[in-house]
Structure 1
């Protein structure tokens, strides 16, 4: 049996996948309102009262795996509580904690308790990304890559979030695009980063640029401006192709000797039937197929890089 922690919109998406994969699971929520919405959407009963109360019921012994879908501000505490009560295999929503310090503490705690924790970066499992991986391998690897990490600051400013979430927005949300870029092109072994600006809700930075070399030997560059128009995008360059993720659910290809950029056909029906990337991500977690999953230990190292890019350190 699997525990699904949280009963919000993201938990509903996980429930759809678990039901499609014919998995038995128990949902733990806090409020009756979210539980009612979850039950209406999924037909699945929710335990109302929160994880602490559920732990006191001595039922956790029946569960070896958990998926944590709580808000960013609750991820580390919830994961720690599950590990303390004997759950040793967990898939937790990104980024694993509200900041690098919290992620580091959780990593140490998980290692001390021999728990296996993965951080859910579902874009790694997009059909477009898996197709790109095939092309990269055929072409002999990535030579260079670039990405844009612009967020729509004018929209984010009005989104209600718990204290500290928007102040750490880069870690909690923007790392989706950064993780994908480094997943495909290699994580930095050398990095120069620059930030300027700020917003009322993100005091340390709002304008980003930088470059470096990845551990695969690929050169990379990035930029993002949260006070100007833009969008997330990733471009991967090989000896034969430019692979363009804009939007990231789709793959455009420019071949050598051509200026044309054309969308390639991919088998992405599963990404249309469920939240994109989620089905394959859950499948990999449950089957213990770790190749494309982000371990908490890896995320702990990555978080140091993300903090540098964001101007947090």
Structure 2
């Protein structure tokens, strides 16, 4: 893939390293901008590419000319300020790790800032690019659409607390992490028209809720339900029904199919070599972003993501027990 300008990766952690591996194999030149010395040193040892230190203050003065695009792969609490800083420096196209900010207020403010600067921005929901999801989209189209779907976004508390995270990040963990499942569910199932939900309980690190449940209808008439219980057992999953079959993504990287009229559930054959070689979904997502390839249609625009905050995410994560027309 030819490219005469360099893509900037903002961040030097594991996610940045995953992007670097993909960009290298796509033959897209890149530079890396880091903030902490430890993460920069680890990145250089793993990837073998230099890291500019100093965060935004280390950004070259001619960044707008040197970098045609940037991938923002920082910690979640830095996504919004770094995105705004890169846009102010003149970089006109951004791919920002989900959910593009710490909370809805910050995400909306960042989107307004970028739009005012004429910066085109996307949110990196890489699960949209899984081989399992691509195959599910094909089968849904072949079958004439979705009739119903169910999704679960239970998180495993022990795994979450095993990593150092700020209280603010933990308190916003639904949007910060579980949004992957919710985004994917409505990406495949269709935009919601009406939804009703409720939450219960709470955890010391996530006091607003521990149990989530609800239901609704899409604009195309498909019914949907959701459930998550962070105080119990469970996992991420998506169960989609069409007029001809059931499509089960559990885990999301896999696809199992149950044909109408049969009890048998069989694994679907997937062209998932790229998902095995790289972080799943990342190759196609990155290629869509840097080359404006046909897969770009699956990229989530930041403007659409802001609209989805009220229409999609908040009715699931913070419904307050009332019906929410969306």
Q: Same fold (TM over 0.5)?
A: yes
What's the offset of the Cα at 1:60? 4.0
Greater CA drift, 108-117 or 95-104: 108-117
**Inter-partner Cα distance in structure 2 for 1:171 and 1:128:** 23
Secondary structure, counterpart of 2:298 in structure 1: coil
Say yes or no: does 1:254 pair with 2:258. yes
CA contact (8 A) 1:123 1:277 kept: yes
Q: Residue 306 of structure 1: which of 284, 300, 313 is its match?
A: 313
CA contact (8 A) 1:73 1:162 kept: no
CA contact (8 A) 1:154 1:227 kept: no
Map 1:58-77 → 2, pairs under 5 A:
58-77=62-81
Runs of 4+, deviation exceeding 3 Å = 57-60
What's the offset of the Cα at 1:113? 1.4
Say yes or no: does 1:155 pair with 2:159. yes
CA contact (8 A) 1:204 1:312 kept: no
Map 1:75-94 → 2, pairs under 5 A:
75-94=79-98
Say yes or no: does 1:48 pair with 2:53. yes
* CA RMSD between the two structures: 1.3
Normalized against structure 1, the TM-score is what? 0.97
Query: Alpha-carbon deviations, 1:118-142, whole Å to 9, x = none?
Result: 0000000001100111111110011
**Inter-partner Cα distance in structure 1 for 2:131 and 2:162:** 32
Say yes or no: does 1:169 pair with 2:176. no
* Matched positions, count: 312
2:15 corresponds to: 10
Secondary structure, counterpart of 1:194 in structure 2: strand
What's the offset of the Cα at 1:310? 1.4
Greater CA drift, 8-17 or 283-292: 283-292
CA contact (8 A) 1:100 1:307 kept: no
What's the offset of the Cα at 1:159? 2.5
CA contact (8 A) 2:152 2:235 kept: yes
Say yes or no: does 1:32 pair with 2:32. no
**Inter-partner Cα distance in structure 2 for 1:163 and 1:74:** 15
Map 1:87-166 → 2, pairs under 5 A:
87-166=91-170
2:324 corresponds to: none
**Inter-partner Cα distance in structure 2 for 1:37 and 1:216:** 48
**Inter-partner Cα distance in structure 2 for 1:49 and 1:78:** 12
* Unpaired stretches in structure 1, ≥5 consecutive residues: none
**Inter-partner Cα distance in structure 2 for 1:312 and 1:253:** 32
Normalized against structure 2, the TM-score is what? 0.93
**Inter-partner Cα distance in structure 1 for 2:159 and 2:132:** 27
Q: Residue 186 of structure 1: which of 181, 185, 190 is its match?
A: 190
CA contact (8 A) 1:195 1:311 kept: yes
